[in-house]
Amino acid sequence: MKLLATLSLLGAAFATTLAAPVALTDTGGSSLLVRNATVYTMTHDAAAALNGTDVLVQDGRVTAIGTALAAPAGTRVIEANGRALTPGIFGGLGHIGLEEIGLEQSTGDYAQRLGQMRPEFDVTLAFNPESMSLVVHRSNGITFSVLAPAAARGGSLVAGLGAPIGLDGSAPAPARAMFVDLGGDANDLSGGSRAAQFMLLRQALVEARAPNLVMVHHERLLSLSGRQVLLEFLKRNSLFVLQVDRAIDIRNALAFAREEKLNVAIRGGAEAWRVATALAAARVPVILDPLDNLPDSFDKVGATLTNAARLRAAGVTVAISINDTDVDDAGKTRQAAGNAVAHGMPKWDAIAAVTRVPAEIFGVADRFGSIERGRTADLVLWSGDPLEVSSLPDLVVTGGRVQTLESRHTALRDRHYERVKAGMAR
Amino acid sequence: MIDLSSTHWPRALLAGVMVTLTACSTTATVAPPAARERSVIAPATPTPYPSTYKPAASVPTLIRGATVLIGNGERLDDVDVLMSNGKITAVGRTLEVPTGAVVIDGRGKWVTPGLIDVHSHLGVYPSPGVEAHSDGNEATSPSTPNVWAEHSIWPQDPGFEAALEGGITTLHVLPGSANLFGGRSVSVKNIHAVSYQSMKFPDAPHGLKMACGENPKRVYGNRRQLPSTRMGNVAGWRAQWIEAQEYMRDWRQYEARSAASAKDLRPPKRDLRLETLAGVLRGEILIQHHCYRADEMAIVIDMAREFGYRVSTFHHATEAYKISNLLAENNICAAVWADWWGFKMESYDAIPENMILVDAAPGGCTVVHSDSAEGIQRLNQEAAKGMAFGKRMGIDIKPEHAIRWLTANAAKAIGLEKRIGTLENGKMADVVVWNGNPFSVYALTERIYVDGALRFDRSAPRNLPESDFLLGQPAAAGVIR
């Protein structure tokens, strides 16, 4: 169900100030003109933001981008006064809609612990579009993320299938990606050695590609449905997302992908900068956490704040996602992108890394990641610089609808601020 | 791989609440126990494991023409900051250059006191997070006030130098939150050393880490022992305080008889657990209490009243905003994040305005903390996130006010408000020069001074990492962290 934008008391109270959040009651069907914005279209042909630009939204679609656009009768006009307008921000690979409380397993559906490799485990079937976390993140400018199954102890290094979602609560996108964990963190899932990880993956591919292969039960890795799903996945050349940090493991993963003709992306990639040339040559994107600079493990001895900048300089496609995957972590992708800029990543690339690039990697660039004529509107108007921690959205439009800036968080805030102001102690 | 049990410490387990008691309130409703109990002599030992910290050699340094956030709420534009002999000696316009002083062009730069993180596990849960490095929770008994976090600190944790680049010059290192009484916490200067004692902040009070809520009851409840419930937590604490009172009584009796020259006296046996608790009851050790929920913090405040001690700081305190006035009335700081929520049930009601609402109560004491090797590198950004949400609700916090959450208030929370936390004359010259407004995501530290000595200079990167662990690692060659 789509949440309807509502007129917020807070927004109403601020309606006279220029930089105030925009409170609207229209929810589609009507039109909206954002006038005089600094527009980050993030389209392929763009290289800089468009100053003094208007964006017209009609019936949920962007119908015009230009200067001095006329507002058709009945159009709600928002004066941006030069504020930044970007596509909605990426919330990363994580558990939005898959868990409510990190430590409460009864609220978490992001991992199977069946003790078997089940590539057919499709985590999108657990997605809860009414989790309050969607509303919280959306009100802070995040409009899409990826449901990423986790490789958990008691499960398999092949975590299963995930997919992108829109934070308007719509159904997960049909595109599926397969999530796989490699490296030391996954040793417990591969008999104690990372060498066994490629062995297991290769066996799974053999079983999938030879559906008529006769095997005795105890030698089999996959169920019948697992073989079918994996085969179909391979035929479509769908994306394998490989969680891997150590430089040599990334090299081995690239070699494996080449031999097996797999379409892969690297996730994590703490030492990816050390194999940047190979990644660029293989045209393999890296989905990384720019804040990941400590040698947390012996797979990350080369971790650095300059990872993103160095990869971009080498021509590698970079998207940004925080490594932590709890529901709250999605809120940090924008801050992480800002830090990447502080450590040398070009700002345009950093914004792309949290908009267009992840939308392309996960096959939803038609709905997210850029502002283009004809597209369903997915826009955020920012109170300041779009990557600044001091900025927040004044307007969020996604799925073609103006979204509320209210959430469970603002409800808690308002209730208890009243109590504080009244001098109540307990 | 997701694994809540072993080598990677999930932050929810690290997230411990500390309470620090400070002695600067005039409004405290809890009578300071110090006057009544001070006559009791602690078990007769000199301060063991003393600080061997020595300020590095420094030259007088004048930072010219910068925007200066003093740390006491003041902002001064286009002023000079002078450091001599390791102290702040002047802040003002067009100061005279002392003979031999180094002059730094501060135009366009911002200067703040060194940042202080009151909640760190650097050194006790160091990188790399291998099993052998799990030194932060003595999770073998729910009550371990006998352990000292400083005895677990590994000075070679690469996290220290990463935190330094974020402007952290002092940090308070705590045990984890598995236990009701987790052990003593310690303040350290962020310098590189071989022994932790060379980092140990001289003459700083210890803290005592306590923990509310889910962590103790989960850890011990799973073993079918007390505490397995929140009521068990409270019973567990109270039993220990009663023991501590008896211990103090025994010592008092012994001292009285000793003073009366009684014969054949034997001193009571020293007990390291009760020694720490008695230190709290005497007002010498500051309570750093991990506690998320408002209702539990209120219970803890009543418990402190029952036993005559004060809570310095509630750590994490994700529901502090629900009891801002109660905390302020009791002169208790809340050390908080901006945007951690939902990682455990007791953090479900966390909101990014928490720090704003704590600050909004008259006398409220907001502290921004990290509890994270990543977060400690950007405490300034953590505060900036909260400020953004404050602005959205119509509360515009100025940089000169917010910096207190990372400096003066933090110093107060760990009992060091007379030594660090502001750029006032006579304070230790722990100073950060930023390339712009520190509450920007793009801001970087340029120069960092500890006790007046240049500790970090971004324009002259070190050739080698400070951490011995990273020396000679092929994978770390060419790393600029």
Q: What is the pLDDT of residue B13?
A: 41
Question: Is the domain of A78 the same as that of A218?
Answer: no
Question: Is pLDDT at B16 greater than 70 in this prediction?
Answer: no
Q: What is the pLDDT of residue B20?
A: 31
Beta bridge partners of A320: A288
Helix (H) or strand (E) holding A337: helix A333-342
Question: Is pLDDT at A16 greater than 70 in this prediction?
Answer: no
* Tally of residues, chain A: 426
Question: Is the domain of A260 the same as that of A143?
Answer: yes
Residue A106: CB partners within 8 Å, gap ≥ 6?
none
**Per-residue confidence at A426, pLDDT binned at 50, 70, 90?**
confident
For residues A326-346, give the mean pLDDT. Answer: 97
The answer to whether position A259 is within a domain reads yes
Contacts of A347 in chain B (CB under 8 A): none
Show the DSSP H helices in B82-193 as ranges.
159-165
Q: Which of B12, B162, B360 sits opposite A103 (nearest CB)?
A: B12
Q: What is the pLDDT of residue A142?
A: 98
- Alpha carbon dihedral B141, B144, B150, B155, in 10-degree steps, equals 10
Q: Which of A102, A188, A419 sits opposite B344 (nearest CB)?
A: A102
Question: Is pLDDT at A356 greater than 90 in this prediction?
Answer: yes
Q: What is the pLDDT of residue A212?
A: 80
pLDDT tens, B340-385? Answer: 999 999 999 999 999 999 999 999 999 999 999 999 999 999 999 9
- CB count within 10 Å of CB B38 equals 12
Question: Is the domain of A162 the same as that of A197?
Answer: yes
Question: Is pLDDT at A328 greater than 60 in this prediction?
Answer: yes
Q: What is the CATH number of the domain that holds B340?
A: 3.20.20.140
Q: What is the CATH number of the domain that holds A395?
A: 2.30.40.10
The answer to whether position A124 is within a domain reads yes
Are the CB atoms for B393 and B356 separated by under 8 Å? yes
Residue of A nearest to B324 (CA): A420
Q: What is the mean pLDDT of chain A?
A: 92
Residue % of chain B over a pLDDT of 70: 90
* Closest Cα in chain B, distance from residue A189 (Å): 8
* Closest Cα in chain A, distance from residue B48 (Å): 32
Q: Which of B294, B343, B441 sits opposite A338 (nearest CB)?
A: B441
Q: What is the pLDDT of residue B313?
A: 98
Q: What is the pLDDT of residue B45?
A: 52
Q: What is the pLDDT of residue A29?
A: 54
Question: Is the domain of A81 the same as that of A95?
Answer: no
Question: Is the domain of A144 the same as that of A240?
Answer: yes
Location of structure tokens 């962020």? B190
The answer to whether position B427 is within a domain reads no
The answer to whether position A422 is within a domain reads no
Question: Is the domain of A24 the same as that of A133?
Answer: no
Question: Is the domain of A207 the same as that of A80?
Answer: no
Residue of A nearest to B397 (CA): A390
pTM comes to 0.93
**Per-residue confidence at A213, pLDDT binned at 50, 70, 90?**
confident
Q: What is the pLDDT of residue A175?
A: 82
Q: Which of B127, B323, B351 sits opposite A295 (nearest CB)?
A: B127
**Per-residue confidence at B15, pLDDT binned at 50, 70, 90?**
very low
Q: What is the mean pLDDT of chain B?
A: 92
**Per-residue confidence at B306, pLDDT binned at 50, 70, 90?**
very high
For residues A341-361, give the mean pLDDT. Answer: 98
Question: Is the domain of A181 the same as that of A66?
Answer: no
The answer to whether position B170 is within a domain reads yes
pLDDT tens, B393-442? Answer: 999 999 999 999 999 999 999 999 999 999 999 999 999 999 999 999 99
Q: Which of A185, A295, A425 sits opposite B1 (nearest CB)?
A: A185
Contacts of B11 in chain A (CB under 8 A): 324
The answer to whether position B172 is within a domain reads yes
The answer to whether position B353 is within a domain reads yes
- The residue among B159, B135, B158 whose CA lies nearest residue B148 is B135
Question: Is pLDDT at B29 greater than 60 in this prediction?
Answer: no
Q: What is the pLDDT of residue B478?
A: 77
Q: Which of residues 166-205 of A touch B (CB under 8 A)?
A: 181, 185-186, 188-189
Residue of A103, A339, A414 for testing the chain B interface, max B β-carbons within 10 Å: A103
Are the CB atoms for A163 and A400 separated by under 8 Å? no
Q: What is the pLDDT of residue B14?
A: 43
Lowest mean pLDDT among A212-226, B147-161, B252-266: A212-226
The answer to whether position A154 is within a domain reads yes
Question: Is the domain of A272 the same as that of A410?
Answer: no
Question: Is pLDDT at A28 greater than 90 in this prediction?
Answer: no
- A2 versus A182: the higher-pLDDT residue is A182
Question: Is pLDDT at B63 greater than 70 in this prediction?
Answer: yes
Structural domain harbouring B245 = 11-51+116-418
Q: What is the pLDDT of residue A1?
A: 31
Q: What is the pLDDT of residue B477?
A: 86
The answer to whether position B432 is within a domain reads no
**Per-residue confidence at A24, pLDDT binned at 50, 70, 90?**
very low
pLDDT tens, A217-271? Answer: 778 999 999 999 999 999 999 999 999 999 999 999 999 999 999 999 999 999 9
- The residue among B285, B266, B268 whose CA lies nearest residue B37 is B285
Question: Is pLDDT at B26 greater than 80 in this prediction?
Answer: no
Question: Is pLDDT at A282 greater than 80 in this prediction?
Answer: yes
Total domain count for chain A? 2
* Tally of residues, chain B: 481
For residues A88-109, give the mean pLDDT. Answer: 96
B82 is written with which tokens?
């002078």
pLDDT tens, A157-199? Answer: 999 999 999 999 999 988 899 999 999 999 999 999 999 999 9
Q: Please judge whether A303 and B481 are an interchain contact, meaning their C-beta atoms are less than 8 angstroms apart.
A: yes
- The residue among B402, B327, B345 whose CA lies nearest residue B74 is B402
Structural domain harbouring A112 = 89-361
Total domain count for chain B? 1
Contacts of A391 in chain B (CB under 8 A): 388
The answer to whether position B348 is within a domain reads yes
* Closest Cα in chain A, distance from residue B53 (Å): 26
B305 is written with which tokens?
């009243």
Lowest mean pLDDT among A85-89, B41-45, B265-269: B41-45
Q: Please judge whether A416 and B12 are an interchain contact, meaning their C-beta atoms are less than 8 angstroms apart.
A: no
- CB count within 10 Å of CB B127 equals 26
For residues B191-213, give the mean pLDDT. Answer: 98
Contacts of B394 in chain A (CB under 8 A): 13-14
Report the C-alpha gap between B394 and B189 in whole angstroms.
37
